[in-house]
Amino acid sequence: MIENILVLDDEENARLTVKSYILRKFDKAQIHEAGDIETALEIVKRNQIDLAFLDIHLGNGTGFDFLNQVPPALLIFKVIFVSAHDEFGVKAFKYNALDYILKPINPIEFNAALKKVENQLPPHSLQLDNLQNSFKQPTQSLKKIVLKDQNSVQLVAVDDIVYCKSENNYTTFHLKDRTSILISQTLKEYEQILKDRNFFRAHRSFLINLDLFKKYDKRDGGVIVMDDDTNIPLARGKKEILFQILDKL
């Protein structure tokens, strides 16, 4: 149950906006406002915070700095970042399986984040470290993705993903070392995340890494053979698109 909520933003108007949206969903929640890291830390020490809305850039640091200073025993609250960052910033959050809301705030996106937060866990150090490193080097492509299953949080190199397979509302990641990771997100979501990293939706159930494409076998109606010798079906309507992509490689 969400009872105590922290809103950390150095702009008062931004805090008021977030607060107004929160109260539409959690009308009985106690909302604690902070304009700087020091105040936010005192709030966390005095209250059992359930959910925190954190701005990235603050006058005296960042939302990451705040989380790094929270005593580990108190870092048990869920986090939603509020960011005015560009497309790269959005991708960084997606790659690290962390919730975010873009400024200016869209009510629909805000409500979607609140719906997801009920099944969310507090952020893992792997997620935060990788996200922070992404913002330190914004000119570089995102090379690692955080995958969270029911038991663990794993940091996986994007280049090690051979293909992803849809399992209803879940997605199984198949890696170079022949291990697999089942994630409770749809394949469509990962298609959006990985489309700029040379991944191709070969079939409604398969997203493949074209860097690990081995060959196209015309037998049996045509299948894609990956580096690990897995056969991937190619949807009839995708064949021409695939050949056009391969011609450009």
**CATH number of this structure's domain 4-136:** 3.40.50.2300
The answer to whether 117 and 51 are in contact (CB under 8 A) is yes
| pLDDT tens for the chain, residues 1 to 249 | 889 999 999 999 999 999 999 999 898 999 999 999 999 999 999 999 999 999 988 988 889 999 999 999 999 999 999 988 776 788 888 899 888 998 889 999 899 888 888 777 888 889 999 888 887 766 567 899 999 877 788 999 999 999 999 998 899 999 999 999 999 889 999 999 998 899 999 999 999 999 999 999 987 778 999 999 999 999 989 999 998 888 876
Residue type, 193: I
Would you state the pLDDT for residue 119? 74
Q: In the beta sheet, which residues pair with residue 161? A: 175
What 8-state DSSP symbol labels residue 183?
Answer: E
Topology of domain 144-248, CATH:
OB fold (Dihydrolipoamide Acetyltransferase, E2P) (2.40.50)
Number of Cβ atoms within 10 Å of the Cβ of 233: 16
DSSP string, 80-131: EEEE---HHHHHHHHHTT-EEEESSPPHHHHHHHHHHHTT--PPPHHHHHHH
* Rounded Cα–Cα distance for residues 165 and 129 (Å): 28
Would you state the pLDDT for residue 151? 76
The answer to whether 97 and 156 are in contact (CB under 8 A) is no
In the chain, residues under CATH classification 2.40.50.1020 are 144-248
In the chain, residues under CATH classification 3.40.50.2300 are 4-136
The answer to whether 83 and 103 are in contact (CB under 8 A) is yes
* Rounded Cα–Cα distance for residues 6 and 40 (Å): 8
* Rounded Cα–Cα distance for residues 174 and 159 (Å): 11
Residue type, 22: I
Would you state the pLDDT for residue 22? 94
* Rounded Cα–Cα distance for residues 98 and 91 (Å): 10
Tell me whether strands 161-167 and 206-209 are parallel, antiparallel or unpaired. Answer: antiparallel
